[in-house]
Amino acid sequence: MDTFNIGALLMVLVSAFAYINYRFLKLQNSIGIMIISILFSLCLIVVSSWYPSYIGYEKSLVSTIDFQKLLLNGILSFMLFAGALHVDFNALKSQKWNVIAFTTLGVLLSTAFIGITLFYSLSLFGVSLPLIYCFLFGALISPTDPVAVMGILKKAGIHKTLEINIVGESLFNDGIGVVLFIILLKIASAGSFEAIETTEIVKLVFLEVLGGILFGIVLGRITHRAILKINSYEVEVLITLGMVMGGYALAGKLGLSGPLAMVVSGLFLGNKTYTSSKKQAETQEYVYKFWELIDILSNAILFVLIGMEIVLITFSKQLIFAGLIAIPIVLIARYISVKVLVNFLKKWNSFGSKTSMIMTWGGLRGGISIAMALSLSKTSAWDIIVPITYIVVVFSIIIQGLSLERVITHFQKPMKVKPK
């Protein structure tokens, strides 16, 4: 099947699932689309016992699409830029130390806890996975997904300070998570930590993280100067589109973090360019609406593919149990890492008594975790990590995503100050 037909079929499925969700399920768009996609795939699996060609056709379609490349080298750039474009930088700046702590130390603490706990837990189900690969799973599942989080928080009525902490963390920890994943993958491939030079790790961290941030600032500044000289929304949309696609591709070639570059450039343009008195409100609205539509479309495609990936993954009874035990491990790791940092940071910042609970349940996992899992070479570790990752991500998006608004409403009640 050629590229156009694949894209056409995917768009038909996306639009059909979106329509069904809007008319009947009435769930948050991304979650509803993914649920329908999973149910669609499960129905095909059942029907395939009588008509094997049906499931074969979906397998052929899904296997043709390189999920890892499509996300990490494609639509992720659009989603991160679009998400950052609407974030209030002044609010983010006021919480910068919290966001930095949650983004870096939070990911490291969570990765360590998940790796050690999962290693000993899997042995109870007769599943053997080397410790380094357990840490690798911890690294790919610890970053929270901005795609899954931001759409839900907009409707949840969460306190603004807490929202900016969750959104800021989810935007930046993708880049940190990918770097940590690459380091652990290099160690796993080499066979031992001693085989990797410390200087190589330091170089990778500085080049990816700091290089990505600086590159994002440069991209944002160049684009900012170009946009201020014109006042045509058609041209501005083209400029921002070219910056995102070209900038992300160039960051990859230079060995820099593309995700971090897109977040920084999005923040720069959203808070400097489009708050300038030189820009007309109409022009700004058109640009914002364009990227809002790109965000919605990218989200829909991503969650349809997540649902359809189920036909390519082999689930044994042992791996299903392992995935189910991984869910509380990931949640506990998230709670501990957040709680430790909140207790430390509250010396300088005020947090609600239930902040740790809300941030734990609001730390949704998404397509980025699946993409990193699928990027592993197909070994026995792949056969274990991918099904477990899929189970955790599906639980996170459906169960946590659908209940997040109620959890926020419940736990924010004690945070309200009663008038004297």
Place of tokens 């419940």: 410
At residue 49 the predicted structure's pLDDT band, cuts being 50, 70 and 90, is confident
What is the model's pLDDT at position 413?
61
Give the model's confidence band at 420: pLDDT under 50 very low, under 70 low, under 90 confident, else very high. very low
Mean pLDDT of the 71-96 span: 90
Per-residue pLDDT of 110-162, as tens digits, reads: 999 999 999 999 988 888 999 999 999 999 999 998 766 776 777 777 888 89
pLDDT for 47: 85
Predicted confidence (pLDDT) per residue in 321-340, tens digit: 999 999 999 999 999 999 99
The whole-number average pLDDT for the span 253-273 is 92
Q: In the chain, pLDDT over 90 holds for what percent of residues?
A: 55
Delimit the domains of the chain by residue range. Answer: 3-64, 67-415
Cβ atoms of residues 162 and 186 within 8 Å: no
Give SS3 for 378. coil
pTM for the model = 0.91
Q: How far apart are CA 33 and CA 149, in angstroms?
A: 15
- Which residues are within 8 A (CB) of 220 and not within 5 positions of it... i.e. 6 or more apart? 264, 265, 266, 267, 268, 269, 272
**Per-residue confidence band for 279, with pLDDT thresholds at 50, 70 and 90:** low
Residue 272: helix, strand or coil by DSSP? helix
Greatest CA separation found in the chain? 70
The rounded distance, in Å, linking the Cα atoms of 343 and 353 is 10
Q: What CATH code would you report for 67-415? A: 1.20.1530.20
Of all residues in the chain, what percent are helix, strand and coil, respectively (each to 5)?
A: 85, 0, 15
Q: What is the pLDDT of residue 64?
A: 87
Residue 417 has pLDDT above 70, yes or no: no
Mean pLDDT of 162-170: 91
Q: What is the pLDDT of residue 320?
A: 94
More confident position, 14 or 199 = 14
pLDDT of residue 57: 80
Nearest-angstrom CA–CA distance, 391 and 323: 6
Interacting residues of 46 by C-beta distance below 8 A, sequence separation 6+ = none
Helix (H, G, I), strand (E, B) or coil at 335: helix
Do the beta carbons of residue 413 and residue 353 sit within 8 Å? no
Q: Please give the average per-residue pLDDT across 410-419, as a whole number.
A: 57
pLDDT digits (tens, 9 = 90+) for 339-387: 999 999 998 888 888 999 999 999 999 888 998 998 888 888 999 999 9
Question: 398 pLDDT exceeds 80?
Answer: yes
Token pair for 358: 């809300």
Q: Distance (Å, rounded) from C-alpha 358 to C-alpha 1? A: 45
Q: What percent of the chain has pLDDT over 70?
A: 95
Report d(CA 204, CA 209) in Å as an integer.
8
Contacting residues for 258 by C-beta, under 8 A, at least 6 apart = 76, 77, 212, 247, 248, 251, 252
